[in-house]
Structure 1
Amino acid sequence: MDNSLVEALVDEHEIYNHVNGTFTSQTYANMIAVMSKEFNMSFTKDHLKNRMKTLKSNFGKCYDLFRGTSLSGFFWNSQTKYIEAEEEVWAQFINANPNAIAFKTKKISNYDYLDMLFSDDRASRSKVETTKEKNARFSKSIEIKIEKVVDVDELMENNEVIEK
């Protein structure tokens, strides 16, 4: 069922129903129709959202631990569906990150698709900021200086202002 859900998500992504990391309402309607037909059972938007949240969370744990697969010595093997590395590399990594041992023997069926769908949503480096930190930063600033349209675009891009 997860494989079918991921395939449906990829299909929606390819027809641009995945805008700025968010799936549109039409995406859910399309996926409900596809999944209901394929499995001959009723699906709801909440059911799909919960399953997507679980998939994204599980992928995020793996992605964050291995920094995608850019962590030196590791790669995702699309044939075996495992994250692979030499035994010495695994041993050192597991010694430093005991939670990583689970991924040594865990198949990740749709890693390439999950990477395409969800990796852009992963916070990284200088742009890492929790909602609590962002709210504290805004409460300290007295005014937002906007001198050019580009300034507004940047605020909108960072979700720092909301269109009305």
Structure 2
Amino acid sequence: MLRILKQEYMLGNYVGGQFTNDAWTQIVSTFNLQTGLTYTKAHIKNRLKVLKKSFSLYHTLATKSGWGWDPDKNMLIIGDLSDWEDMIEANPQYAKCKDRPFPAFAILELLCANTSIAKHQDKTALDANDRDTSSNTSREVSSSSNPRKRKRTAVAKAIPDPVQTRRRRPKITKEQISCANVAGPRVYSIEDCIDKLETLPNISSEAFLSACEAFKDEHDRSIFMRLHGPLLNMWIDRQVAKHSISAVQVVVPSQQQSP
């Protein structure tokens, strides 16, 4: 389930802290196809909710001062063993995190970023902006009392700072590229996609034909041409799964025997 969720996340189908409706449709169908189960969207969402609660416990401990997370062992890095008693006393649920790996940590860290890590980062950035605003206000009040200093300040603001200009140049370039892409996005042809598909090693005939079927859609062609490595393989696997589902849904009418 986590592998399928990660695939949809990497394809950009996780927006505003939740999967899109199309992503959920794909998640449920792919999960049931690969497991032979008949889970509904509610079943998978409930399981994800339980995992997020466990992640919250592990994440709180992993970000504690002096502690950390071992991605190889999927376990907590404990700073001081004596801290365990205090932590468990504060919240008895932490006891189930002790000496127990949690392989879902990495993908859940991505899915929960908007609700935990990102909020902390936003708050830190906001505090920094508040300090900068306060500092700038103090300097402006100080300079307003001196007419000569106020004049020099006005002249300095009118002349661009070369250092600031160099720092802003990458951002300006990115904005120009972004505007160019919006104005004229490249449209890939089916032939372009097939040429790239033929360069992929060890691709099966089923995967090749499923990808070719997807190339009928301009959006899918654009995604295919921009993906590389593991993500590209995940995209192809997804097309195979979709093609298999479509094939199962096709009903072949029985031929009536002539009298």
1:25, distance to aligned residue in structure 2 (A): 0.7
Alignment counterpart, residue 94 of structure 2, candidates 71, 91, 100: 100
User: In structure 1, how many angstroms separate the alpha carbons of the residues matched to 2:65 and 2:109?
Assistant: 18
Show structure 1 runs of 5+ residues with no match.
Answer: 128-164
Cα 1:71–1:35, aligned 2, differ >3 Å: closer, same or farther?
A: same
1:115 aligns with 2:97: no
- Corresponding residue SS for 1:121: coil
Show structure 2 runs of 5+ residues with no match.
Answer: 124-259
1:60 aligns with 2:53: no
Cα 1:96–1:47, aligned 2, differ >3 Å: closer, same or farther?
A: closer
Figure out how many residues of one structure are paired with residues of the other and give that number: 120
The answer to which of 91-100 and 33-42 deviates more is: 91-100
User: In structure 1, how many angstroms separate the alpha carbons of the residues matched to 2:114 and 2:24?
Assistant: 20
Residue identity in the other structure for 1:84:
I
- Partner of residue 69, structure 2: 76
1:28 aligns with 2:21: no
Q: Tell me if the contact between 1:94 and 1:101 (Cα under 8 Å) persists in the aligned partners.
A: yes
Q: Tell me if the contact between 2:28 and 2:39 (Cα under 8 Å) persists in the aligned partners.
A: yes
Q: 1:64-104 deviations in whole A, cap 9, x for unaligned?
A: x32xx221121111222211214244455445554423211
- Partner of residue 44, structure 1: 40
Residue identity in the other structure for 1:9:
L
Cα 1:99–1:20, aligned 2, differ >3 Å: closer, same or farther?
A: same
User: In structure 2, how many angstroms separate the alpha carbons of the residues matched to 1:94 and 1:50?
Assistant: 26
Cα 1:72–1:40, aligned 2, differ >3 Å: closer, same or farther?
A: same
Q: Tell me if the contact between 1:81 and 1:108 (Cα under 8 Å) persists in the aligned partners.
A: yes
Cα 1:88–1:75, aligned 2, differ >3 Å: closer, same or farther?
A: same
Alignment counterpart, residue 10 of structure 2, candidates 14, 18, 42: 14
- Corresponding residue SS for 2:102: coil
Rg bigger for which structure? 2
Q: Tell me if the contact between 2:58 and 2:76 (Cα under 8 Å) persists in the aligned partners.
A: no
Q: CA RMSD in A?
A: 2.5
Q: Tell me if the contact between 2:57 and 2:94 (Cα under 8 Å) persists in the aligned partners.
A: no
* TM-score w.r.t. length of structure 2: 0.41
- Corresponding residue SS for 2:69: strand
User: In structure 1, how many angstroms separate the alpha carbons of the residues matched to 2:39 and 2:92?
Assistant: 38
Residue identity in the other structure for 1:118:
C
Once the two structures are superposed, the pairs formed by residues 122-141 of structure 1 within 5 Å of their partners are: 122=116
1:23, distance to aligned residue in structure 2 (A): 0.7
Query: Matched residues, percent identical?
Result: 24
- Partner of residue 161, structure 2: none
Residue identity in the other structure for 2:7:
D
* TM-score w.r.t. length of structure 1: 0.62
Between 1 and 2, higher relative CO (CA 8 Å, sep ≥ 6) is seen in 1
